[in-house]
């Protein structure tokens, strides 16, 4: 097991079958610094235009179509004392006639306290004088190359991952992604210091991070949609519009997990989901919305 310090020199605005920037073995750890959603690095230097420039792709030896790439999120450390957000709700999350009254979508600067691990607005805003947020670092956009030679903008998401903006993609979480090409071709970037559900202003607190992940291959672990787990829960992810369809994808993937992976019948899986399922909302700003279907481990059968 090796630890790679990956320093990208180019970045990508798509997840696709691009030439690998790094090759790692199954189980290796990668430490890399991500630039922000607009392409500014930890020193505030513009490195790449947006949207959401990605580090990568990383070729993981042994990953083949039909396997899952396991992304263990070990650490996300803020490395810049500034962040930024959009200042106003996205037009698509409020009632259409009310969009007329929205202020413009300007950017707002934030101060990130790298010692206290908090974020606050750089300029005072009435009523938010005490709005100091503990950081909850997360990876906004990550995924693998999709099938068929497709390549998707990092402004959206699909079965291969992408810009899901789910708060649960944080240290302690492992994510399973469906491998579609040899080596999986893993990308990551667009980290947030903190973000509410849905990324409803169109941004989290966008900043630069140092991320540490372990990449491994689970052979023959077929998935249609991303899966994940942490100490307490397992979850599945659907990316689509409308949110109803994202929910259908996530729920179907969880049904498959409970039946194939935990040996439940469809009826037993329905009983379990019906009474204990939790849904969490990822991105509802991008072309594809993200819905997470979650079950606490304590309800799962022992296997």
Q: Which residue, 30 or 119, has its beta carbon nearer to a second copy?
A: 119
Cβ proximity of 161 and 236 under 8 Å: no
In degrees rounded to 5, what are phi and psi of residue 243? -55, -30
Q: Which residue, 1 or 99, has its beta carbon nearer to a second copy?
A: 99
CB of 40 to a second copy, least distance (A): 19
In degrees rounded to 5, what are phi and psi of residue 247? -65, -40
Distance CA 84, CA 237 (A): 27
CB of 146 to a second copy, least distance (A): 8
Q: Which residue, 156 or 173, has its beta carbon nearer to a second copy?
A: 156
Q: Which residue, 10 or 43, has its beta carbon nearer to a second copy?
A: 10
CB of 242 to a second copy, least distance (A): 4
Q: Which residue, 33 or 160, has its beta carbon nearer to a second copy?
A: 160
CB of 144 to a second copy, least distance (A): 15
CB of 4 to a second copy, least distance (A): 25
The distance of Cα 29 from the centroid of its chain, to the nearest Å, equals 18
Q: Which residue, 114 or 125, has its beta carbon nearer to a second copy?
A: 125
Q: Which residue, 68 or 240, has its beta carbon nearer to a second copy?
A: 240
In degrees, to the nearest 5, what angle opens at C-alpha 124 toward C-alphas 80 and 135? 35
Structure token pair of residue 103: 């202020």
Q: Which residue, 29 or 139, has its beta carbon nearer to a second copy?
A: 139
Q: Which residues contact 94 (CB under 8 A, 6 or more apart)?
A: 102
Cβ proximity of 174 and 72 under 8 Å: yes
Q: How many residues does the chain have?
A: 303
3-state secondary structure of 269: helix
Distance CA 36, CA 34 (A): 7
CB of 85 to a second copy, least distance (A): 6
CB of 77 to a second copy, least distance (A): 19
Cβ proximity of 224 and 178 under 8 Å: yes
Phi-psi region of 107 (alpha: psi -120 to 50; beta: other; left: phi over 0): beta
CB of 139 to a second copy, least distance (A): 17
CB of 205 to a second copy, least distance (A): 7
Q: Which residue, 77 or 245, has its beta carbon nearer to a second copy?
A: 245
Closest CA to 61 of 114, 33, 25: 25
Q: Which residues contact 65 (CB under 8 A, 6 or more apart)?
A: 147, 179, 180, 181, 182
Give the H/E segment covering residue 15: strand 14-15
């Amino acid at each position: 097991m090796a630890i790679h310090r990956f320093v990208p020199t180019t970045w990508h605005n798509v997840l696709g079958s691009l030439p690998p920037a790094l090759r790692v073995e199954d189980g290796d750890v990668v430490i890399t610094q991500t630039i922000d959603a607009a392409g500014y690095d930890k020193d505030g230097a513009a490195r790449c235009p947006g949207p959401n420039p990605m580090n990568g792709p990383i070729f993981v030896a042994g990953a083949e179509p039909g396997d899952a790439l396991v992304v263990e999120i070990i650490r996300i450390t803020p490395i810049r004392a500034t962040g930024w957000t959009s200042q106003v709700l996205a037009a698509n999350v409020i009632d259409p006639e009310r969009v007329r009254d929205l202020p413009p979508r300007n950017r707002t600067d934030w101060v990130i306290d790298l010692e206290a691990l908090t974020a606050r607005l750089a300029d005072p805003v009435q009523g938010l004088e005490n709005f100091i947020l503990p950081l909850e670092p997360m990876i906004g956009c990550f995924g693998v190359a999709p099938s068929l030679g497709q390549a998707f903008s990092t402004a959206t998401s699909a079965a291969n991952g992408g810009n899901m903006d789910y708060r649960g993609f944080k240290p302690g979480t492992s994510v399973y992604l469906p491998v579609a090409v040899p080596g999986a071709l893993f990308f990551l970037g667009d980290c947030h210091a903190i973000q509410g559900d849905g990324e409803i202003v169109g941004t989290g607190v966008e900043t630069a991070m140092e991320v540490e992940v372990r990449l491994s291959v689970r052979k023959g672990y077929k998935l249609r949609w991303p899966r994940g787990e942490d100490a307490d829960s397992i979850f599945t992810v659907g990316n689509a519009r409308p949110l109803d369809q994202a929910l259908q994808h996530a729920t179907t993937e969880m049904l498959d997990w409970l039946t194939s992976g935990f040996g439940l019948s469809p009826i037993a899986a329905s009983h379990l989901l019906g009474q204990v399922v939790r849904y969490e909302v990822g991105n509802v700003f991008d072309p594809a919305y993200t819905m997470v279907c979650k079950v606490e481990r304590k309800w799962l059968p022992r296997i």
